[in-house]
Amino acid sequence: MEEPKLLALLKSKKGGFISGEAIARDMGISRAAIWKEIEALRTLGYTIDAKPRMGYCLSSTPDKLYPWEVREGLPTRFIGQSIIYFDEADSTNNRAKEALKEAPSDGTVVLAERQTAGRGRLGRQWYSPTGSGLWMSLILKPTLAVADIPKLTMMAAVAVRKGILEAVQTEVSIKWPNDLLQNGRKICGILAELSGEADRLSYLIIGIGINVNQTAEDFPEELREIGTSLRMALGRRVDRRRLLQTILGQLEEEYIRVSSEGFTGVLAECRRYSATLGATVTVSNGNTRLTGVAEAIEDHGGLRLLLPGGKKVTVYSGDTTIEKR
């Protein structure tokens, strides 16, 4: 999806007017065609003032994640340089899987303003209303072993945490394996899915959902106690585009770091900013539920629990509930 030429022209005037005549000359189109294009931009949500004898002026940009808006000023070399955008999608992870047929480049990002069937872990739904969150899937072609996948999703949590801190100066903690919490409530969830053969990974899809601009009332009743948004934490709306760009920048930095140096840094951050270590937690995985004190995040990414009888068990995946600190 390329930026409409007329939009680029209006932007080049930096809030000033450009005459219809100049646009017609520059774009080689008629006055009637200009009007049609102006209307198309207005439909996308851009506010364009039109004044007789002065022409047209771009006076506001919508809160939308159009690929050309995200790419403008994006501090990355490859992550997010290719964007697949949907106003509405069932789930960006599903759309990312679909996109694999076209052999997408490493770092392609699938974005949706709204998901109608957003998926969480353990078959749960992920509530994804229009325009108030970041609902995205990152497609990676890692050259790493399948055993490293859990650590790659931990890497995503570390990068999102850093991105949030850099963009809006708010600390969030990491609930093992890869949820982000603000004041004990969930602000971000990550759902990684693989494609490829058992031992040879071809693609990894990392689905990331971040609650950005919802108010408490926007959450369905059953999520009000457990979910939160950056807006609720900060008491103001957050610029989703800038937040996304910062997070994509951090994802790229972490991905490059992991590819050259391994996971030592990621694991250190997971431990340092952990909401889990030291707490009594229950880890559920399918039919298994284990409750114990979270003692350590081991070097392979597993969580070591000290069970009530004194036995120690390491779990490798699952959903964690914090029972007591």
By CB under 6 A, tell whether 189 contacts ligand BTN.
yes
Between residue 191 and residue 210, which ones bind ligand BTN under the rule CB under 6 A? 191, 207-209
* Residue pair 56/38 in contact by the 8 Å Cβ criterion: yes
By CB under 6 A, tell whether 229 contacts ligand BTN.
no
Choose one: 150-158, 185-193, 266-274, 279-287; the region binding ligand BTN (CB under 6 A): 185-193
* Residue pair 204/142 in contact by the 8 Å Cβ criterion: yes
Minimal CB distance residue for ligand BTN: 189
* Ramachandran area for residue 146 (φ above 0: left; ψ -120 to 50: alpha; else beta): alpha
Distance CA 95, CA 320 (A): 28
* Identity of the residue, 59 or 125, whose beta carbon is nearer to ligand BTN in the bound complex: 125
* Residue pair 188/210 in contact by the 8 Å Cβ criterion: yes
Distance CA 204, CA 209 (A): 16
Q: How far is CA 173 from the centre of its chain?
A: 16
By CB under 6 A, tell whether 211 contacts ligand BTN.
no
Task: Tell me which residue has tokens 């069937």.
Answer: 117
Task: Tell the smallest beta-carbon distance from residue 110 to ligand BTN (Å).
Answer: 8
One residue of 20, 119, 258, 275 binding ligand BTN per CB under 6 A:
119
By CB under 6 A, tell whether 190 contacts ligand BTN.
yes
* Identity of the residue, 207 or 249, whose beta carbon is nearer to ligand BTN in the bound complex: 207
- φ/ψ of residue 25, rounded to 5: -65, -50
Convert 241-250 to b/e letters by CB count within 10 Å (16 or more is b).
Answer: bebbbbbbbb
Task: Tell me which residue has tokens 């080689």.
Answer: 28
Size of the site for ligand BTN (CB under 6 A): 21
Task: Tell the smallest beta-carbon distance from residue 98 to ligand BTN (Å).
Answer: 13
* Identity of the residue, 85 or 135, whose beta carbon is nearer to ligand BTN in the bound complex: 135
Q: Name the residue among 318, 315, 303, 301 with its Cα closest to residue 147.
A: 301
- φ/ψ of residue 167, rounded to 5: -80, -40
By CB under 6 A, tell whether 120 contacts ligand BTN.
yes
Between residue 277 and residue 296, which ones bind ligand BTN under the rule CB under 6 A? none
* Identity of the residue, 166 or 193, whose beta carbon is nearer to ligand BTN in the bound complex: 193
By CB under 6 A, tell whether 137 contacts ligand BTN.
yes
Residues at the site binding ligand BTN, with contacts judged by CB under 6 A: 91-93, 115, 118-121, 124, 126, 128, 135-137, 179, 189-191, 207-209
